[in-house]
Chain A
Amino acid sequence: QKEVEQNSGPLSVPEGAIASLNCTYSDRGSQSFFWYRQYSGKSPELIMFIYSNGDKEDGRFTAQLNKASQYVSLLIRDSQPSDSATYLCAVGAGTASKLTFGTGTRLQVTL
C-alpha cells in the first residue's frame, strides 16, 4: 500500500513568519511530488511541484525534496492570513500517473 503521511495539524504561525509543512512517502519509485492548497469546500489548487532532489523556489513558496529520506517539505515565507488553508502533499510515479494524496495539514496564520 503506497502511503503519503502528513501531520494533520493545525499548524499555527503568526503573520509574517515562516510556515514549514512536511510530508513523507512510502513508495521509493515515486518520481513527482506536488503541493496543493485546499480551502474549505473548494477543490485542490496546485501551488508547487518538484521532481529532483533539492530546493525549488517560487515566490514565497519553497519546495524541498529528499528522495533518499523519502521526504518532501513546503516552506511558506512571510505567511499571510490568506495562506490559511489545508495543504495537501501528493505523489506520483511520473507523467500521466495517478496521484496519491496525504490527509493534508491545516495551516492557520494568526494576526
Chain B
Amino acid sequence: EPEVTQTPSHQVTQMGQEVILRCVPISNHLYFYWYRQILGQKVEFLVSFYNNEISEKSEIFDDQFSVERPDGSNFTLKIRSTKLEDSAMYFCATPGTSGGAYQFFGPGTRLTVL
C-alpha cells in the first residue's frame, strides 16, 4: 500500500509555463521530500518540508521552485517557468506514519517540457 500518491502521472508543458505537481499522503504525515530523476541519471534531492516549512533545500531548488501545503493535506511542488532541463521524473517521498530515517517514494510524475 503506497504511503503517498502523486498527480498527475504525466505532465506535458511548454517551456516557460508554470506547472504544479501534487503529492497526496495516505495518512497524516509531517515530513515530505521532493526528489527528481532525469532520464538515465541518479535520483537527486530537491527539498525537504517539515511542519509547513522548508527544512532543507539543494542547489537545484532555486527561485523557480516552491513548495507548499495549501490545505494541510496535499503537498505541492511548483515550477514557475519551466525549462527544457526540468524534464524529469519528480518523486514525492515520506517516512510515513511510523517515522524513521527511511523514505517511501510515491509513483512519481513524469514532466516533459517541450
| Contact A32 B102, beta carbon cutoff 8 Å | yes
Q: Which residues of A contact B45 (CB under 8 A)?
A: 98-100
Interface residue B99 (Cβ < 8 Å from any Cβ of A): yes
Q: Which residues of B contact A94 (CB under 8 A)?
A: 101
Stretch at the interface among B12-20, B64-72, B79-87, B103-111: B103-111
Collect the chain A residues with CB atoms within 8 Å of residue B48's CB: 96-98
Task: Give which listed residue, A42, A95, A103, A104, contacts B101 with CB less than 8 A.
Answer: A95
A49 touches B43 (CB 8 A): no
Report B31-86 residues with CB < 8 Å from chain A CB: 31, 33, 35, 41-45, 48, 50, 55-56, 58
Chain B residue at smallest Cβ distance from A92: B101
B108 x A95 contact (CB < 8 A):
no
- Considering only CB atoms and an 8 Å cut-off, how many residues of chain B contact the other chain? 27
**In chain B, what residue has the closest Cβ to A97?**
B101
A residues 40-87 touching B (CB-CB < 8 Å)? 42-46, 49, 51
Residues in chain B near residue A97, CB distance under 8 A = 48, 56, 101
Taking the closest CB of chain A, its distance from the CB of B26, in whole angstroms, is 15
Q: Find out whether the CB atom of B100 lies under 8 angstroms from the CB atom of A44.
A: no
B42:A104 contact, CB within 8 angstroms: yes
Please state if B43 and A88 are interface contacts (CB–CB under 8 Å).
yes
**A22 within 8 A of partner (CB):** no
CB A99 to nearest CB in B, in angstroms, measures: 6
Distance in angstroms between the alpha carbons of A38 and B44 in the assembled complex:
14
Complex interface residues of chain A between 11 and 48 (CB less than 8 A to chain B): 31-32, 34, 36, 42-46
Whether B105 lies near A98 (C-beta < 8 A) is no
Does A44 lie within 8 Å of B43, measured CB to CB? yes
Residues of chain B touching chain A, judged by Cβ–Cβ distance below 8 Å, are: 31, 33, 35, 41-45, 48, 50, 55-56, 58, 89, 91, 93, 95, 99-108
Q: Would you list 15 pairs from A and B whose C-beta atoms are within 8 A, ordered by A residue?
A: A31-B101, A32-B101, A42-B107, A43-B105, A43-B107, A43-B108, A44-B105, A45-B105, A96-B101, A97-B101, A98-B33, A99-B43, A99-B103, A100-B45, A103-B41
Query: Would you list the 8 A-B pairs with minimal beta carbon distance, nearest first?
Result: A32-B101, A101-B43, A43-B105, A98-B45, A103-B42, A43-B108, A95-B101, A44-B105
